[in-house]
Amino acid sequence: MRLGFLGSPSLAVPVLDALVAAGHDVAVVVSRPDRRRGRGGTASPTPVKAAALAHGLEVTDDLSLLAETDVDLSVVVAYGALVPAAILDRAPMLNVHLSVLPRWRGAAPVERAILAGDPLTGVSVMRLEATLDTGPVYAVAETDVDDKHLTALQAELVALGTQLLVPMLAGGLAHLPEPVAQSGEATYAHKVADDELELDFTKRADELARVVRLGRARTWAGERRLGVLDAVVVDDAVGAPGDFDGAIVTCGVGGLRLVSVVPEGRRAMSPEAWVRGIRDVVPTRLGRSLLP
């Protein structure tokens, strides 16, 4: 098939790679504009744009070029913006969305599934509409959330979505299955706000462990920020919320045994290595709001 492809982050790249490997003619790739990263940094392409250039594909950040290109349909994976109805009317678009719709429509479906403690999540291949993730669904695959971290769960869902999508397109437009309208209560996956990533040790340990699994959690040791990359829940923590004994932080219920931390200005390490490297007073409490 002659395809368009819309996507931006690295999680969308495996789908583009699979479509090219399957022999589809990807006529144009649309991605978000290049962004400057760091102070004085040069503009960097999105991961999808970089992958498209590596494949020798035409790539643009101008959606109007897609409207001018003759394609059978387009595939959308985490493009990062709504597609106007005028462009949707030119050719059908299939969206690989990382949730079981209508749960977690929106920008951060995997993050919200983890934070909510959902036991299951999945991926939906749906027909794109001008409204946010409301289109009928062609196929769904589910998986357990378990204690998976965000990047691992995203990768698993993208692989499941690719396994649904590629065979579906093998027979061309005429052999697409009949999509089914979404049913059930819709929930919306708003982007994770920065303050949601700060660990509040008055909360339950299992709730905070979900925040850690997003990969950007943080707390404070005195006046210094401490990133927390990995932690496990323990039941036998003692003391007040925020008390820290070198590895375990007491929470409102239970505790977190820190596994991997990132001290301010340094690389990831074990909490034991971090504590050994502290030259002044080793903190006995963590968390900005809990400091004496």
Tens-place pLDDT, residues 250-288: 999 999 999 999 999 899 999 999 999 887 888 999 997
Res. 127: pLDDT tops 50 = yes
What is the pTM assigned to this prediction? Answer: 0.94
Ramachandran area for residue 42 (φ above 0: left; ψ -120 to 50: alpha; else beta): beta
What is the average per-residue pLDDT within 81-95? 91
What is the average per-residue pLDDT within 244-252? 94
Q: What pLDDT is stored for residue 260 in this prediction?
A: 97
Per-residue confidence band for 35, with pLDDT thresholds at 50, 70 and 90: confident
Q: What is the pLDDT of residues 102-121, one digit of tens each?
A: 999 999 999 999 999 999 99
Res. 290: pLDDT tops 70 = no
Res. 226: pLDDT tops 60 = yes
Average of per-residue pLDDT values in the chain: 94
Q: What pLDDT is stored for residue 56 in this prediction?
A: 98
